[in-house]
Chains A and B, each alone.
Chain A
Amino acid sequence: NAGVTQTPKFQVLKTGQSMTLQCAQDMNHEYMSWYRQDPGMGLRLIHYSVGAGITDQGEVPNGYNVSRSTTEDFPLRLLSAAPSQTSVYFCASSYSRLQGYTFGSGTRLTVV
């Protein structure tokens, strides 16, 4: 099925561990982005990309890295996990900045 695929769906990390959240889309979308959702705060933009090889920071980029080596994939790396990074993470893609983004089903991350 066409869409945005996120893996894993759930993850528990210990403080200080690193990991990569995977995101892949098969719609040939140029625009991809990562958000985190926390209670009472809506979704906040972490990093975004307007095409392969091009990334930029969003509202809350600290503690996260991204890269975009292909159009399809946009992984999010947590360098040294902290309890403040406990959240639900969503990846999204779109073919135009003014069109509705297609979201993945999310990764629920807990850092203990």
Chain B
Amino acid sequence: DQQVKQNSPSLSVQEGRISILNCDYTNSMFDYFLWYKKYPAEGPTFLISISSIKDKNEDGRFTVFLNKSAKHLSLHIVPSQPGDSAVYFCAAVDDYKLSFGAGTTVTVRA
């Protein structure tokens, strides 16, 4: 039973606009959340994280929002760029274990 879910398998967005990726989780023990970006034939690369005691973290074009009561987090990318086209994974930490969502493929259109 997946504890971290990304219900949108794909997202298409125009260059310069905002990309919003969503993630839901079920385990209340998760105390840290991360987003990873993955290109084909490469390993995932860390993008941004947020502690469960915060509701927002910002790093350049990337902002992650956490709504603990709804067990929901989102990643905003503004503005979207062609190099952002990749698969994005949401992940959650419980003790030493990472649980990943299935990923969302983002395509940025020129």
Interface residues of A (CB under 8 A from B): 4, 31, 33, 35, 40-45, 48, 50, 56, 58-59, 90, 92, 97-106
Contacts and interface: CB of A to CB of B under 8 A. Distances in A.
B18 interface: no
B81 interface: no
A25 to B, nearest CB: 12
Contacts of B93: 97-98
Would you list the 8 A-B pairs with minimal beta carbon distance, nearest first?
Answer: A100-B46, A103-B43, A42-B100, A43-B100, A42-B102, A98-B32, A103-B44, A105-B43
Interface of B: 2, 4, 6, 9, 31-32, 34, 36, 41-47, 49, 51, 89, 91, 93, 95-103
B34 A41 contact: no
B77 to A, nearest CB: 17
Contact of A48 (B2, B32, B45, B97): B97
B43 A4 contact: yes
Nearest to A43: B100
B39 to A, nearest CB: 10
A74 to B, nearest CB: 13
Nearest to B94: A97
B102 A40 contact: yes
Given A100-B47, A103-B36, A103-B43, 5 more contacts: A42-B2, A59-B99, A90-B44, A98-B51, A104-B43
